[in-house]
Amino acid sequence: MLLMEYDKEAEEAYIRKESLETGIEQGIEQGISLVVKTLIQTFQEIGISRDNTLFKLEEKFSLSTQEAERYLNLYWSDKQD
């Protein structure tokens, strides 16, 4: 016994909506990552310490220490110019 009639249009609309929401979330995450990367690089260029940069990431982006450390590990350059 079928409880609901299959509605192809409704399913396709649902899939489109889910795909759009996923795309928006990914775009926001990429945008935040780019801003954080730029901030880290700028702070490093002007001589702000890694510890102070970590603190500012936590403060300004409401990141946990672990999240801020992850970004620093990705974008902080240990090279001295």
Cβ atoms of 58 and 68 within 8 Å: the answer is: yes
Task: Identify whether 54 is part of a domain.
Answer: yes
User: Residue 27 is encoded by which pair of tokens?
Assistant: 């775009």
Task: Identify whether 57 is part of a domain.
Answer: yes
Q: SS3 for 2-36, per residue?
A: CCCCCCHHHHHHHHHHHHHHHHHHHHHHHHHHHHH
Give the residue numbers spanning the domain of 61: 42-81
- Of 27, 47, 37, 24, the residue nearest 76 (C-alpha): 37
Whether the pLDDT of residue 2 is over 90: the answer is: no
CA angle (77, 79, 81) in 5-degree steps:
115
Task: Identify whether 71 is part of a domain.
Answer: yes
Number of domains in the chain: 1
Task: Identify whether 49 is part of a domain.
Answer: yes
pLDDT at 56 (0 to 100): 97
Task: Identify whether 59 is part of a domain.
Answer: yes
Task: Identify whether 36 is part of a domain.
Answer: no
Whether the pLDDT of residue 79 is over 60: the answer is: yes
Task: Identify whether 60 is part of a domain.
Answer: yes
